[in-house]
């Protein structure tokens, strides 16, 4: 239950960010080309950071809240999850920023919320699995640490492709290639 509450807390933060980005993106529709190109360039920079080709020190900072005691109830765990979602940036900053840029270009707030809901689920599911199988997972995580660099390079490469597609106004074409494989 605590893991579910923690995940609900950080998911709430990410989903609210997605709704805000979509709402603000809707207000800025008259400057959509400027935002699309600027956002695409920013996503490319995030991708370069993830691949390690261009390290950005401000994306390497992590904010942590140290708790002396565990939260005594589920609401406290939700609040810890919200603090985690608000302060956890080195691992997810470039990816979250990229998704927020895409959410800001969506036609409706609901679509932005949908993007961030899927993103949150992608973060939440490993926490849930880890909490159930913690002992088995500790050994697995030690072994996967060696391949994390390759995962970051792959994710960064995908972000670069997404950024280029946005800059060149080919996001729809890129999505049409991805969507059939996902559905």
b/e 20-45 (16+ beta carbons within 10 angstroms → b): bbbbebeeeeeeeeebbeebbebbbb
b/e 64-97 (16+ beta carbons within 10 angstroms → b): eeeeeeebeeeebbbbbbbbbbeebbeeebbbbb
Alpha carbon distance 80, 11 (integer Å): 12
Alpha carbon distance 179, 183 (integer Å): 6
Specify the number of domains making up the chain: 1
Give the N- to C-terminal CA distance of the chain in Å, as an integer.
31
Domain range for residue 170? Answer: 2-182
pLDDT tens digits for 129-181?
777 777 676 777 777 777 878 888 888 898 898 888 888 887 666 666 655 65
The half-sphere exposure of 56 on its side-chain side, counting CA atoms within 13 A, is: 17
pTM for this prediction? 0.52
pLDDT tens digits for 83-108?
666 655 445 667 777 777 777 777 77
């Amino acid at each position: 239950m605590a893991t579910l509450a923690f995940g609900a807390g950080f998911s709430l933060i990410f989903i609210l960010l997605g709704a805000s980005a979509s709402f603000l993106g809707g207000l800025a529709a008259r400057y959509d080309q400027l935002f699309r190109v600027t956002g695409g360039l920013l996503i490319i920079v995030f991708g370069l950071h993830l691949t390690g080709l261009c390290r950005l020190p401000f994306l390497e900072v992590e904010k942590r809240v140290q708790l002396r005691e565990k939260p005594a109830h589920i609401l406290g765990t939700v609040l810890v999850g919200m603090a985690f979602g608000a302060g956890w940036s080195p691992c997810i900053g470039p990816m979250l920023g990229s998704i927020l840029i895409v959410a800001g270009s969506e036609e409706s707030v609901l679509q932005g919320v949908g993007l961030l809901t899927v993103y949150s689920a992608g973060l939440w599911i490993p926490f849930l699995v880890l909490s159930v199988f913690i002992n088995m997972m500790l050994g697995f995580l030690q072994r996967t640490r060696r391949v994390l660099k390759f995962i970051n390079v792959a994710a960064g490469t995908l972000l670069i492709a997404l950024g280029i597609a946005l800059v060149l106004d080919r996001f729809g074409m890129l999505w049409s290639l991805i969507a059939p494989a996902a559905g």
